Structure formats: structure tokens, C-alpha cells
Amino acid sequence: MKTFPALFVVCSLASGAAAASSTDRAGYCASISSYAEQVMFIRQMNKPIESQMESVRYQFDTAVEQASAQALVQRAWTVERSSTSRDQQKQISRFGESTEAACIAGEIFPA
């Protein structure tokens, strides 16, 4: 079942993301990147956005993180679904990479 790894990783990230300090920004952004990949995976599997938006409040502790995560989810749902698994994997990887770069630059998930 493909959803089990996604749920496990997302739940793992929530506790790690909340505990990150500003001195560990790169590690924090790497965990956000992993979260972004899971969001895009869910998007590519054609799951409804509402389920992902609702889960944000359980995955992130602060209002700032929740707002950032909701914006990330909304951004993921603006990306078209790919028709092949190869293209889906590319979308997932690209989304994670661009999210990590934006996080490191302080554009999303502010420190």
C-alpha cells in the first residue's frame, strides 16, 4: 500500500520540523523538502486537497508553520498531474528541490 510510507514520513517530519532551531536551517529545510515531496506524491495520486489541508494542523505546531504548509499544499495543487509514473517522480523531485531552495533562502517557512 503506497499511502503507508507517505503517512509515516509525514508524521515523522512533523516532530522533527517543530524542533529545528535557526542554527540548523539546512536540516530543517531538508525536512521541509521531504514534506514537500510527500505533498506532491499525494497530489500526483489525485487525492483531494482538503484532506491534505486538514492534516497540516496536526503536522505543524506553530501558526506560522501551518500557514506556510498550507501555502505549500496550495502550490502543489496548482501543478498538473503527470500521466506516467516517471513524470510523476520528476514532479515530486522538482517540487522537493525547489521547496528546499526557497526554504534555505528564507522565502518559505521563515526562521
Note whether residue 109 is domain-resident: no
Note whether residue 81 is domain-resident: yes
Note whether residue 13 is domain-resident: yes
Banded pLDDT at 99 (limits 50, 70, 90): very high
Note whether residue 64 is domain-resident: yes
Expressed as residue numbers, the domain containing 36 is 3-104
Q: What is the pLDDT of residues 16-66, one digit of tens each?
A: 544 445 559 999 999 999 999 999 999 999 999 998 999 898 999 999 999
Note whether residue 88 is domain-resident: yes
Note whether residue 111 is domain-resident: no
Note whether residue 91 is domain-resident: yes
CA distance 72 to 95: 10
Give how many domains the chain has, as a whole number: 1
Banded pLDDT at 90 (limits 50, 70, 90): very high
Note whether residue 25 is domain-resident: yes
Grid cell 484532506 is found at 51
User: Of 109, 86, 111, 87, which is closest to residue 36 (Cα–Cα)?
Assistant: 109
pLDDT at 4: 42
Grid cell 528541490 is found at 97
CA distance 75 to 78: 5
47 secondary structure, DSSP code? -
Contact criterion met (CB below 8 Å) for 100 and 32:
yes
